[in-house]
Amino acid sequence: MVSKLSTNDHSSDVVGLKYIYPVLSRRAGGLSIGINFNTNNACNWRCLYCQVNNLTLGAAPELDFALLERELRYFLNDVLFGNFYDRFDVDADKRIIKDIAIAGDGEPTTLKQFAEAVELIGKIATEMGVFPSSDYVLITNGSLIHQPKVQQGLQALNRYGGQVWFKLDSATEEGRRLFNNASLSCEASVENLLVSSRLCNTKLQTCLFDLDKQGLSEKEKDAYLALLGKIKSRCSVRKVMLYTVARQSKQPEASRITPMPADVLQGLAEAVRALDYDVSVSI
């Protein structure tokens, strides 16, 4: 167990619970309470920068709803009324729950009972006074949003004022296969993005990393900007979060990956802003 929370450590076992883990999030800017459905380290993608140990191809296991409820109530009570912040030496300006984020060690929407789980978390957090003052976030690769059970989950998320952080690391088929090991086409991903934006407030999140010292290619940059320009009139997505790697990948390609230089991120951010998007950058 760590003695101090850090933006460089997002371990899902930091407090010894199965489904709940705290992180200091760069993008959220404070304490983020993570929900991990993928306790088997299974995902339907394999992003090269993924920090999950022993990542396997697959779906989330069956969820123990009773245990999830006990853990979430216990942890929220510890943060709100206990000595959690002192035990983990959290800086004074970070002692606020910025969000509850469904993320974890794989793609959360692979959970069969996804909609029911979203509803349970929202109900508990509302009862304990965390919502609506804190955000409710789903961090997803968006690959399963065409499925009815996932759409029902997004509708539940929306009822609690939540938001979807939709991954878009590349707008080329080659980039998606290389960066994410994703079989879903870019066209299908865009269709899922449009569905997501209709059902719930949706933002794009893009991880830029330097692979083999190649930087951001003009092909990748141009395709990304072209896609954003194309979807602007088709959906309500207007916020884009650009970030780079801050922690060591646990994938075989780890030694080939370094953070994207800040000037590259800022340059892309300016180009995206020129398309009338609200852009945040995390270095």
pLDDT in tens, 44-54: 999 999 999 99
On the question of pLDDT at 43 being above 50, the answer is: yes
Predicted local confidence at residue 11, as pLDDT: 55
- Which tens digit of pLDDT belongs to each residue from 111-133? 999 999 999 999 999 999 999 99
Predicted local confidence at residue 171, as pLDDT: 98
Low-confidence winner among 12-26, 34-48, 141-155 (lowest mean pLDDT): 12-26
Other Cβ atoms less than 10 A from the Cβ of 263: the count is 8
Residue 277, in any domain of the structure: yes
- Which tens digit of pLDDT belongs to each residue from 211-231? 999 999 999 999 999 999 999
On the question of pLDDT at 274 being above 50, the answer is: yes
- Which tens digit of pLDDT belongs to each residue from 46-82? 999 999 999 999 999 999 999 999 999 999 999 999 9
Report the number of distinct structural domains present in the chain: 1
Residue 9, in any domain of the structure: no
Instruction: Report the alpha-carbon distance of residue 43 to residue 161 in Å, rounded.
Output: 26
Are 84 and 97 a contacting pair, CB within 8 Å? no
Predicted local confidence at residue 69, as pLDDT: 98
Instruction: Report the alpha-carbon distance of residue 121 to residue 34 in Å, rounded.
Output: 11
Predicted local confidence at residue 44, as pLDDT: 97
Report the sign of the C-alpha dihedral through residues 4, 7, 8, 9, in that order. positive
Residue 197, in any domain of the structure: yes
Domain containing residue 246: 20-282
- Confidence category of residue 30, pLDDT binned at 50, 70, 90: confident
- Confidence category of residue 1, pLDDT binned at 50, 70, 90: very low
On the question of pLDDT at 13 being above 70, the answer is: no
Q: What is the mean pLDDT of the chain?
A: 94
Q: CA-based Rg of the chain, rounded to a whole angstrom?
A: 18
Residue 170, in any domain of the structure: yes
Residue 13, in any domain of the structure: no
Instruction: Report the alpha-carbon distance of residue 189 to residue 54 in Å, rounded.
Output: 26
Other Cβ atoms less than 10 A from the Cβ of 3: the count is 7
- Which tens digit of pLDDT belongs to each residue from 196-205? 999 999 999 9
In Å, what is the CA distance from 26 to each residue of 4, 12, 17, 53, 280?
15, 16, 23, 21, 11
H or E, element range at 273: helix 262-273
Predicted local confidence at residue 10, as pLDDT: 45
On the question of pLDDT at 152 being above 60, the answer is: yes
Report the sign of the C-alpha dihedral through residues 143, 249, 139, 242, in that order. negative
Predicted local confidence at residue 24, as pLDDT: 86
Predicted local confidence at residue 8, as pLDDT: 52
Predicted local confidence at residue 28, as pLDDT: 57
What single letter denotes the amino acid at residue 263?
Answer: D
Residue 46, in any domain of the structure: yes
Q: What is the CATH number of the domain that holds 189?
A: 3.20.20.70
Residue 180, in any domain of the structure: yes
Instruction: Report the alpha-carbon distance of residue 24 to residue 89 in Å, rounded.
Output: 12
Are 255 and 48 a contacting pair, CB within 8 Å? no
224 or 28: which leads in pLDDT = 224
Predicted local confidence at residue 156, as pLDDT: 98
Instruction: Report the alpha-carbon distance of residue 258 to residue 255 in Å, rounded.
Output: 8
What single letter denotes the amino acid at residue 208?
Answer: L
At CA 181, angle to CA 178 and CA 186, rounded to 5? 80
Least Cα distance to 167 among 207, 210, 221 occurs for 207
